[in-house]
A = this chain, B = another copy of it.
Amino acid sequence: MDITLIAAAALTAAEVLAAAPDSDWRALEPARTLYMELASGRVVIELAPAFAPAHVANLETLARARYFDGLAIYRVQDNFVAQWGDPDERGAFGEAKTSLAPEFTRPLRGLPAFRRLPDADTYASQAGFVQGFPVARDAKRAWLVHCYGMVGAGRGNPADSGNGAELYAVIGSAPRLLDRNVTLVGRVVQGIERLSALPRGTGKLGFYETAAERTPIRSLRLAADLPEAERGRLEILRTESTTFGRLVELRRMRRDDWYKEPAGRVDVCNVTVPVRDMPAAAGPAR
């Protein structure tokens, strides 16, 4: 048996990641990164215009108009979602639209590179990643899927009643039954615990019963609209990279001092997309 191959197989995920060239990483683009500032700190959301261009554009308009500043997280339902926006629906959309055609799925034509996972997915014929986002597809369409940390645009009963002014983040077991029923707009890449550890609402569907229980939103801004010194320096591992493919394989075949029986399979919502702070040498001077 080839000793080199054994050694390669024994690399840990941390070692694979440490060996990745800087080109396997990409900085979050300020123009498609949202910062939601809470008293507890910042929640960083990467937007997915490749899947929900109209909702993302509307959300950017709302953020620029400071629509969310002073609003609140008003619903936290255990094992489901934390939701924020304007519980009193006072309006003031300014130039933003109040209703949008649903963007539940998108055509395959023009879809950026799809990193397909090799294992069966309960809910779709294929599952994998596009630009860091968990995605499912069939023969004609692709869609973002409801994994932990995904952010969607709440809507009422009409399919076109979402607009990006009411947002939710998944804080429980992947609610895949929502897939293709609501427009997902992005993913929390840092700070999800500022939402997932909030007290659960005791009203129906996890709504808080009093305004005092809500968590105020200090501001919600596009990173591009902040001075550079106030922006974070996060990088995401490219899910198209060979390194990411190796990490997926290590996760499927995980066997180490603790793991005895590798699953040999992995679900799209059980794969973590690595995030890091940009190495200091590669960052801009401050």
Contact of A193 (CB < 8 Å), options: B78, B104, B121, B257: B78
The reply to whether the CB of A266 lies closer than 8 angstroms to some CB of chain B is: yes
Q: Is B173 touching A270 in the complex (CB atoms < 8 A)?
A: yes
Contact of A177 (CB < 8 Å), options: B157, B200, B270: B270
Q: Is B181 touching A260 in the complex (CB atoms < 8 A)?
A: yes
In chain B, what residue has the closest Cβ to A127?
B122
Q: Is A148 touching B123 in the complex (CB atoms < 8 A)?
A: no
In chain B, what residue has the closest Cβ to A202?
B193
The reply to whether the CB of A147 lies closer than 8 angstroms to some CB of chain B is: yes
Q: Is A265 touching B157 in the complex (CB atoms < 8 A)?
A: no
Bound complex: CA A127 to CA B122 (Å): 11
The reply to whether the CB of A261 lies closer than 8 angstroms to some CB of chain B is: yes
| A residues 133-167 touching B (CB-CB < 8 Å) | 147-149, 157, 159
Bound complex: CA A262 to CA B55 (Å): 23
Chain B residues near A175 (CB, 8 Å)? 270
Q: Is B180 touching A261 in the complex (CB atoms < 8 A)?
A: yes
Q: Is B123 touching A263 in the complex (CB atoms < 8 A)?
A: yes
Bound complex: CA A206 to CA B85 (Å): 30
The reply to whether the CB of A10 lies closer than 8 angstroms to some CB of chain B is: no
> A51-83 CB contact bits vs B (8 Å, 1 = yes)?
000000000000000000000000010110000
> A176-199 CB contact bits vs B (8 Å, 1 = yes)?
110111000000000011001111
Bound complex: CA A200 to CA B196 (Å): 9
Minimum CB–CB distance from A73 to chain B (whole Å) comes to 13
The reply to whether the CB of A233 lies closer than 8 angstroms to some CB of chain B is: no
Bound complex: CA A270 to CA B261 (Å): 24
Bound complex: CA A177 to CA B259 (Å): 9
Bound complex: CA A19 to CA B78 (Å): 27
Bound complex: CA A36 to CA B78 (Å): 19
Minimum CB–CB distance from A270 to chain B (whole Å) comes to 6
Bound complex: CA A137 to CA B159 (Å): 39
The reply to whether the CB of A249 lies closer than 8 angstroms to some CB of chain B is: no
The reply to whether the CB of A119 lies closer than 8 angstroms to some CB of chain B is: yes
User: What are the nearest 4 A-B pairs in CB distance?
Assistant: A148-B173, A78-B193, A193-B200, A122-B267
Q: Write 7 A-B pairs (CB below 8 A) sorted by A numbering.
A: A78-B193, A79-B148, A147-B173, A157-B257, A181-B260, A197-B198, A197-B199
